[in-house]
Amino acid sequence: DGNGRWAERRKRPRTFGHQAGLKTLRRIVEHSGRLGVGELTVFAFSSENWNRPKAEINRLMDLFMRALDRETDELHANEVRVRFVGDLTAFSTELQEGVRAAELRTRNNARMILNVAANYGGRWDIVEAARAVAARAKEGSLAIEDIDAETLAAELQLGGVPDPDLLIRTGGEQRISNFLLWNLAYAELYFCDTLWPDFGDTDFDAAL
């Protein structure tokens, strides 16, 4: 959090902050790899972000597309697997194809998993998982009495992977903002005032 405010303090367009935020993401992914972090999930675009001005959204989508083209090669070279979580059907066909290509190319990499949450919301995630469980029960492949927490968790966007150990939120706000609501049940929560474009290796180390 904090890309827009970072740019505004410099009297620049908010999209300038998103560009800076992308550079920070690259640094933190690299640093995480050096530290041996096995899985990193980043909140790239929330389902609420569609409420932003159209020009800003268009610029974000452009950045997203260019980042896919540019960063996938480097991530693949460093054996990072990329996964996207969220309702990707809201994005352009071109962007969806870019996402699928990045996932396909990096699917066998095992050094680190980078989950990118795009058009994601925690409540949406739980509702979709509940629908999937209900569909299985309706068709008869799942008995209602067998539905438990593990059944629902397996249907979530991050189903099948360990829950996060740590949530880091930059920018001074102290709330989860509809991110991984189920998965963060027992995570440590770390909040800092640093705006995301200024967040560096030492900030990350302090959180750890």
Q: Which two tokens stand for residue 67?
A: 């980042």
Backbone phi and psi for residue 197, each to the nearest 5 degrees, phi listed first? -60, -20
Whole-angstrom Cα distance, residue 17 to residue 9?
Answer: 10
* Crossing angle of the two packed helices 54-77 and 93-106, in degrees rounded to 10: 20
Residues whose CB falls within 8 Å of the CB of residue 188, separated by 6 or more in sequence, listed in order: 165, 166, 167
Taking residue 144's Cβ as centre, other Cβ atoms within 10 Å add up to 8
SS3 77: helix
Residue type, 44: A
Residues whose CB falls within 8 Å of the CB of residue 107, separated by 6 or more in sequence, listed in order: 81
Task: Please report the DSSP string for 155-167 in residue order.
Answer: TSTTTTSPPPSEE
Q: Annotated catalytic residue: which of 3, 49, 119, 146?
A: 49
Catalytic residue check, 62: no
Catalytic residue check, 148: no
Active-site residue list: 1, 49
